[in-house]
Amino acid sequence: MSRSVSSQELSARTIFRKDLVADEAAFLDTRIPGSDRKVNYPLIGPGVSENAKQVIPVTEPHGFNLGAAVMPAGVVNNLHLHFTAEVFCCFAGEWRFRWGVRGDEGEALVRAGDVISIPTWMFRGFTSLSDDAWLFTALGRDVSGGLIWAPSVIEEAARYGMHLGADNKLIETAPGQVPEGVELSRPLSDEQLGLLRHVTVEEMRERLATPQDLRWCDEPFLDSRLPGGGARLALVVGYGLTEDRAQSPRVSDPHGFSLAWLRAEPGQGVSRHTVDESQVLIVKEGTLRVTLNQDEPVSTELGPYDTLSIPPGAWRSFAGVGETAAQVVVLTGGDGRTRIGWDPAVVEEARATGVAIDANGYVAPAALVAR
């Protein structure tokens, strides 16, 4: 069932970088010296923020959450763990990630253009090595379960009057004071810490996709040879949208979403199509025009760091505009492959050029595929 999107809804789902509202008190560690200049931006869903007053631009459930972290050089995000997937897309700067109960089991440098997926149920933290460093962060599932801080972080935060209630919300007191009459989140015991997973540096490297690691597919879609098509696709997490049977992702374990890079030269893109899952686009470079609906089309143009949420069932097409290629992160809900529904005109035009979609959802010679 297709869904029509009004111009008002499109506007509400378009999150321009210039309109982001900073959350400077999102987490337990924001009073700890060295972590007090962290800035977080909620984008889609509540994420794991511990600040009940955060401003969330898009609250509709997507099957995943999205936010951003912006930190000057030297600022630290302290050790914590997640129950669901956490994937970082680095858009600017350089970051040092570390992991383990004490943060000493391994390190990875993450630079602009890199994507890293951190396994669940292990402590992780990161430090910005550059001013104005920027990470987009995707979290699996609508309800991610909050997070657990390392015992050392809970102890240090309490010295500065920051406590975490059992309901996962922040409680502020004067430095050194303990809040009365409320149940606090308890640090993990030594026995519980001993049950956490361990990840080697080599294993983490396989979960890091640098620009050099990407395997771009030149013809990932039915419309790849058609006017208005031609976008290239590189899979990072999950199989997602690809219609090339030979294409596979770098990281394949279930995340609750897929993540891919899409690249559209000026005049190229993806023809009109629809998917049944929620989808989010984040532009890293260039300009992307997105047009929704079959009848009464509405459009928006996204520049660097702009984000768009597209509802399930909406017809959409993408086009690179301007003088440089648009490079875009595409997040699509769900753990499996996403089947694309093409506009009938695209299907007929593709068949005239000799290609069609087979019963398994992949591009194949039209002569070998029944209508």
The CB density around residue 73, as the number of other CB atoms within 10 Å, is 14
Q: Helices H, strands E: what count in the chain? A: 5, 26
Q: Which pLDDT value is given to residue 55?
A: 87
Question: pLDDT tens digit string along 245-281?
Answer: 999 999 999 999 999 999 999 999 999 999 999 999 9
**Residue-level pLDDT at 132:** 86
Least confident window among 96-100, 145-149, 190-194: 145-149
| Same domain? 167 vs 291 | no
Residue 128 falls inside a structural domain: yes
CA distance 4 to 125: 42
Q: 45: domain CATH number?
A: 2.60.120.10
Distance from the first to the final alpha carbon of the chain? 22
Q: Give yes or no: residues 154 and 260 share one domain.
A: no
Q: Can you give the pLDDT at residue 115?
A: 98
Q: Please indicate, yes or no, if residue 9 is contained in any of the structural domains.
A: no
Exposed / middle / buried, residue 335 (Cβ in 10 Å: 0-12, 13-18, 19+) = middle
Q: What is the pLDDT of residues 18-28, one digit of tens each?
A: 999 887 776 88
Q: What number is the average pLDDT over the span 345-353?
A: 97
Structural domains counted in the chain: 2
Q: Tokens in use for 272?
A: 């009109």
Domain range enclosing 140: 19-209
Q: What is the mean pLDDT of the chain?
A: 94
Residue 267 token pair:
């005049």
Quote the pTM value. Answer: 0.94
The domain boundary residue, chosen from 209, 241, 266? 209
Residue 326 lies in a domain: yes
The residue behind tokens 């008190």 is: 25
Residues 193-233: tens digit of each pLDDT: 999 999 999 999 999 999 999 999 999 999 999 999 999 99
- Residues 192, 250 within the same domain: no
- 187 shares its domain with 246: no
**Whether residue 263 sits in one domain with residue 203:** no
Does the structure show a pLDDT above 80 at 371? no
Please state, in angstroms and as integers, the Cα–Cα distance from residue 175 to each residue in 75, 155, 160, 178, 278, following that order.
21, 12, 4, 9, 43
**Domain check: are 193 and 260 in the same one?**
no
- 227 found inside a domain: no
